[in-house]
Structure 1
Amino acid sequence: MTITQLKYVLAIAEHKNFTKAAEKCFVTQPTLSTQIQKLEDELNILIFDRSKKPIELTDVGRKIVYQARNIVNEADRIQDIVDQQKGFIGGEFRLGIIPTVMPTLLPMFLKNFINKYPKVKLKIEELTTEEIILRINEGHLDAAIAATPLESPNIKERPLFYEPFVAYTPNSHRLSKKNNVEISDLNVDDMLLLEDGHCFREGVINLCKTFKDHIDDNFQLESGSIETLIKLSDEGLGMTLLPYLHTLDMSDKFNANLRYFIEPSPAREVSIIYHKSELKMQIIDAIHNVISGVVRGAIAFQNVKIISPVAK
């Protein structure tokens, strides 16, 4: 049994196809098939049910995949240990970022990071918080940037910055005449929200629940993007809440509709998160330092109240 064979098993389990798995592993399909056959012969079991389309794992195959993932991850960490000992900051690093952070934060820090750490090959994916937690636990991500706290037992969180919520209230809205808004002013019945699956949506709901014991889930309107929420709000369909960084590049026309909260401002905590057994700490430290330095000049708010993104 070899580490290479176990990597082939994981690739087939992920793609459910020998040809696609071979392409992923940069080998020919016959080579991959031969190695899987050798492993199955050695163990005297079938890992995959080839009669199914797509290919499925057998019952024992599922158990083998679980263990193989642990073995391959631990084997990969040997190089991490060596890099850490040498102080080397380089190599591939898989980073996930949630959709409500990606478009504003990535342009702020990516070029700076690449220039400072040219030997790091960042592979960045936009993923929901649920997908991020799953991939970190399965070893498919080295780290991620997400709203916290998440209360996930296997994941560590290092705060990067605190991003206030900002109210967007068009002229037709009942709060448009106020200079500043309070949490008690919010009413989820006239609130435009992101679709289910966005942690910012859960943060807004949790914020609205601060002054109400119960909120029905029958919301007026939901959308997949913040930009669409702003347009719908301008059409008189309600107000919405925005992450502060989304407001920095808005034109004067849109800025006139922004209302900031009376302190302490409700805010989300944005952190770099990673598995508790992660060893690529030198790269995590580098990302943390670059982002913290860049954002420090953009967000001057200090007196904030952290709103959890965890559904309650």
Structure 2
Amino acid sequence: MTITQLSYVLAVAEHQNFTKAAEKCFVTQPTLSMQIQKLEDQLDILIFDRSKKPIELTEVGKKIVSQAKNIVNESHRIQDIVDQQKGFIGGEFKLGIIPTVMPTLLPMFLKTFVKKYPKVKLKIEELTTEDIITKINDGHLDAAIAATPLENDSIKERVLYFEPFMAYIPQSHRLSTKKTITTDDLDIDDMLLLEDGHCFRDGVINLCRVFKDHNDDSFQLESGSIETLIKLSNEGLGMTLLPYLHTLDISEKTRNNLKPFSAPSPAREVSIIYHKSELKMQIIEALQDVISGIIRGAITFQNVQIISPIAK
């Protein structure tokens, strides 16, 4: 039994197709099939039910894949040990970032990080929290930046910063004359929200749910971007909540529409998250140091109340 054979098994389990798995592993399909066949013969079991389309794992195959993930992940630790011993911070690093963090945070830290750690080859993807968790568990992401806490036993979290919610209230709105607002002022029925799948949306709903029961069917206007929410609000279609960093680049014309919350301000916790196997920790720690150092000057709020990003 070899690490290579187990890697091939994981690829077929993921893609449910020998040809696609071979392409992802950069080998020919006959080579991949032969190695998996050798492993099955050695173990005297079938890992895959080849009669099914697409290919499915057998019951024992499911258990083997679960263990294979642990073995393959642990095998990567050897290179980590060597890199850390040499003080080397480099190589490919796959990072996921949620959509409501990506456009504001990435420009703030990327140039500094690349300059400080030129040997790290960052591959960055914008992904929802759900996709991030799946890819981390499947070994397709080394780490991610997301709203936390996630309450996921396979994921570890390191807090980067706390980002307050800010209310965006147009001049025609009932709350426009207030200098600050409280959570008691919020009415979910006139709140513009991001589309389902965004954890910031779930955070807003959780914030409002504490103070008012509601039916999800009451949401009439949802959008895939924060910029669109601002435009819809300017048209008098409701108010919205924004992450603090998104308000730093807002135009002077609309800045008067921003209202802070009374302390403690509701906020989201933003963390760098990674698998509990803790691979490539030297790069994760380097990212944490760079981002924390930069963000410290941008967000000075201390008295905050963390709102869960998990849909409830």
Q: Same fold (TM over 0.5)?
A: yes
User: Counterparts of 2:20 and 2:138 in 1: how far apart (Å)?
Assistant: 20
User: Once the two structures are superposed, what CA deviation does each residue of 1:192-242 show, in whole Å capped at 9, x if it has no partner?
Assistant: 111222111121112213333x33222232222212212221222111101
> Counterpart of 1:63?
63
User: Counterparts of 1:44 and 1:302 in 2: how far apart (Å)?
Assistant: 60
State the secondary structure of the residue aligned to 2:76. Answer: helix
- Residues 1:138 and 2:122 aligned together: no
Write the mapping of 1:1-312 to structure 2, written as runs, cut at 5 A. 1-212=1-212, 214-218=213-217, 219-312=219-312
User: Counterparts of 2:157 and 2:45 in 1: how far apart (Å)?
Assistant: 41
User: Counterparts of 2:90 and 2:71 in 1: how far apart (Å)?
Assistant: 23
Look up the equivalent residue of 1:178 and give its one-letter code.
K
Of stretches 182-191 and 201-210 in structure 1, the one that deviates more from structure 2 is 201-210
Task: Say if 1:94 and 1:124, in contact at 8 Å, map to a contact too.
Answer: yes
User: Counterparts of 1:23 and 1:66 in 2: how far apart (Å)?
Assistant: 22
User: Counterparts of 1:11 and 1:281 in 2: how far apart (Å)?
Assistant: 24
User: Counterparts of 2:151 and 2:65 in 1: how far apart (Å)?
Assistant: 27
User: Counterparts of 2:267 and 2:37 in 1: how far apart (Å)?
Assistant: 54
TM-score under structure 2 length normalisation: 0.94
Task: Say if 1:161 and 1:295, in contact at 8 Å, map to a contact too.
Answer: yes
Unaligned runs of 5+ in 1: none
State the secondary structure of the residue aligned to 1:261. Answer: coil
Task: Say if 1:164 and 1:244, in contact at 8 Å, map to a contact too.
Answer: yes
Shift of 1:109: 0.9
* Aligned residues between the structures: 311
Shift of 1:136: 2.5
Task: Say if 1:191 and 1:220, in contact at 8 Å, map to a contact too.
Answer: no
Of stretches 136-145 and 242-251 in structure 1, the one that deviates more from structure 2 is 136-145
User: Counterparts of 1:293 and 1:7 in 2: how far apart (Å)?
Assistant: 38
State the secondary structure of the residue aligned to 1:38. Answer: helix
Task: Say if 1:81 and 1:279, in contact at 8 Å, map to a contact too.
Answer: no
Shift of 1:141: 2.3
- State the 4+ residue runs in structure 1 displaced beyond 6 angstroms: none
User: Counterparts of 2:159 and 2:70 in 1: how far apart (Å)?
Assistant: 28
State the secondary structure of the residue aligned to 2:260. Answer: strand
User: Counterparts of 2:63 and 2:83 in 1: how far apart (Å)?
Assistant: 31
State the secondary structure of the residue aligned to 1:70. Answer: helix
Shift of 1:106: 1.0
Shift of 1:299: 1.6
TM-score under structure 1 length normalisation: 0.94
Shift of 1:10: 0.9
State the secondary structure of the residue aligned to 2:287. Answer: helix
State the secondary structure of the residue aligned to 1:78. Answer: helix
Of stretches 196-205 and 37-46 in structure 1, the one that deviates more from structure 2 is 37-46
Task: Say if 1:268 and 1:307, in contact at 8 Å, map to a contact too.
Answer: yes
Shift of 1:270: 0.7
Task: Say if 1:192 and 1:240, in contact at 8 Å, map to a contact too.
Answer: yes
User: Counterparts of 2:59 and 2:263 in 1: how far apart (Å)?
Assistant: 56
User: Counterparts of 2:227 and 2:205 in 1: how far apart (Å)?
Assistant: 19
Task: Say if 2:143 and 2:284, in contact at 8 Å, map to a contact too.
Answer: yes
User: Counterparts of 2:264 and 2:69 in 1: how far apart (Å)?
Assistant: 45
Unaligned runs of 5+ in 2: none
Look up the equivalent residue of 1:230 and give its one-letter code.
I
Task: Say if 2:76 and 2:279, in contact at 8 Å, map to a contact too.
Answer: no
Task: Say if 1:146 and 1:273, in contact at 8 Å, map to a contact too.
Answer: yes
Task: Say if 2:74 and 2:277, in contact at 8 Å, map to a contact too.
Answer: no
Shift of 1:98: 1.2
State the secondary structure of the residue aligned to 1:241. Answer: strand
State the secondary structure of the residue aligned to 2:292. Answer: helix
Shift of 1:266: 1.4
Look up the equivalent residue of 1:131 and give its one-letter code.
D
